[in-house]
Amino acid sequence: MDAGVAAEGAAPVEPMTEERKAFLKEALAEVCRGQVEEVEHIKQCLEILHKEEKSESGKEGEDAEDEAERESAFKVITELCENLDNARDLMVLGGLDLCFSRYLGHVKSGLRWRAAELVACCAQNMPEVQVHLLKIGVLPKLLQMTDSDPDPTARVKAFYAVSCLVREQEAGLKAFLTLDGFSVLTRCMQSENERLRTKSSFLLLNLLRSHPEEKDTVISMGMVQQLVAVLRTPHSSVHEHILGAICCLVEDCPKGLKECRNPTLALEELLKQRIKELGGKEEWQEELDFCESLEMTCFRG
């Protein structure tokens, strides 16, 4: 009875007019045309990146022009690949293989970091692309760039690509562990590059939260001592992630607790001093919460 009343009270569905049908058909065709056009743009850019490079002939102007053209091609492809369909198309067209084989190790730093940026853009939230990149062996090269590339921007972009391949990607994390990725993270957190320190400490915190089974691995590497050493550097936003990581290492982990209680670290005194310094400063509240939680767990529990 109620259902019948409800049905009777519902607004009648009007048939779609021919004008409306034509509009929707044209809108769909426009979307398809746009996608085809974007793929054509990608193909044109790949033609530029596939070109043979000019041999060293002393003509600096020509070399600079060639480099600028390739950089522009990377910029266009990266913007287009923010669309996931385009990222998949680039993979199918061999663009990611080209990045790996020719540009991640390029002598020009501007081309290296743009290649790494493109890899990160395509890998983010795209399991299909992530699997492909891992299969062709991109991760070791990205870790090497992160660890030792002479260009600071290239190191940051490479690290961004690494994080896109290992977060929420089991195969990526397994490869990361096999390649001693946590050691690379440790060195990044000790770097003078502030962006790299921030990104690496955040990734460590994220990995420990999502994969607590790896705690013993990082503790055995001396991670607690390394993290406390970073805490003793001049105060910065990096410290919040560092403290969060230490909190993860002591949670339900006797081995981590034991390390933190080691008198040679003098962690208790450091935490008391930091709590005093941060008290009443709203912008550092989360870091203060980590300090208080850590002090309670390690030295008052």
Question: Do 85 and 159 fall into the same domain?
Answer: yes
Residue 144 in any domain: the answer is: yes
Question: Do 168 and 89 fall into the same domain?
Answer: yes
pLDDT of 70 over the 80 cut: yes
Residue 207 in any domain: the answer is: no
Question: Do 86 and 167 fall into the same domain?
Answer: yes
Question: Do 232 and 288 fall into the same domain?
Answer: yes
Residue 146 in any domain: the answer is: yes
Residue 52 in any domain: the answer is: no
Do 150 and 109 meet the contact criterion of CB atoms below 8 Å apart? yes
Last residue of a domain, one of 123, 150, 179: 179
Q: How confident is the model at residue 34 (pLDDT cuts 50, 70, 90)?
A: low
Q: DSSP labels for 52-97?
A: PPPP--S-HHHHHHHHHHHHHHHHHHHHHTTSHHHHHHHHHTTHHH
Q: In the chain, how many domains are there?
A: 2
Mean pLDDT of all residues in the chain? 89
What pLDDT digit, counting tens, does each position of 159-203 carry? 999 999 999 899 999 999 999 999 999 999 999 999 999 999 999
Question: Do 244 and 300 fall into the same domain?
Answer: yes
Q: How confident is the model at residue 255 (pLDDT cuts 50, 70, 90)?
A: very high
pLDDT of 26 over the 60 cut: no
Q: How confident is the model at residue 63 (pLDDT cuts 50, 70, 90)?
A: confident
Give this prediction's pTM: 0.84
pLDDT of 23 over the 60 cut: no
Range of lowest pLDDT (23-27, 59-63, 164-168):
23-27
CA distance 104 to 150: 13
Question: Do 175 and 222 fall into the same domain?
Answer: no
Range of lowest pLDDT (37-46, 52-61, 102-111, 272-281):
52-61
Question: Do 75 and 175 fall into the same domain?
Answer: yes
pLDDT of 149 over the 50 cut: yes
Question: Do 101 and 155 fall into the same domain?
Answer: yes
Range of the domain at 75: 71-179
Q: For residue 36, what pLDDT is reported? A: 72
pLDDT of 145 over the 90 cut: yes
Which two three-digit tokens encode residue 296? 């309670």
Q: For residue 31, what pLDDT is reported? A: 47
Residue 205 in any domain: the answer is: no
By residue count, the chain amounts to: 301
Residue 54 in any domain: the answer is: no
Nearest to 227 by CA among 247, 210, 212, 207: 247
Q: For residue 258, what pLDDT is reported? A: 95
Q: For residue 33, what pLDDT is reported? A: 52
Mean pLDDT of 113-125: 96
Last residue of a domain, one of 179, 202, 234: 179
Q: How confident is the model at residue 60 (pLDDT cuts 50, 70, 90)?
A: low
- Locate tokens 């950089």: which residue? 71
Cα torsion angle, 115, 116, 119, 120, sign: negative
Residue 169: give its domain's CATH number.
Answer: 1.25.10.10
pLDDT of 18 over the 90 cut: no
Residue 288 in any domain: the answer is: yes
Nearest to 172 by CA among 184, 185, 163, 182: 163
Q: For residue 232, what pLDDT is reported? A: 95
Mean pLDDT of 133-161: 97
Residue 269 CB burial class (10 angstroms; 0-12, 13-18, ≥19): exposed
Last residue of a domain, one of 152, 179, 206: 179
Cβ neighbour number for residue 272 with a 10 Å cutoff: 13
Residue 46 in any domain: the answer is: no
Q: How far apart are the first and last CA of the chain?
A: 64
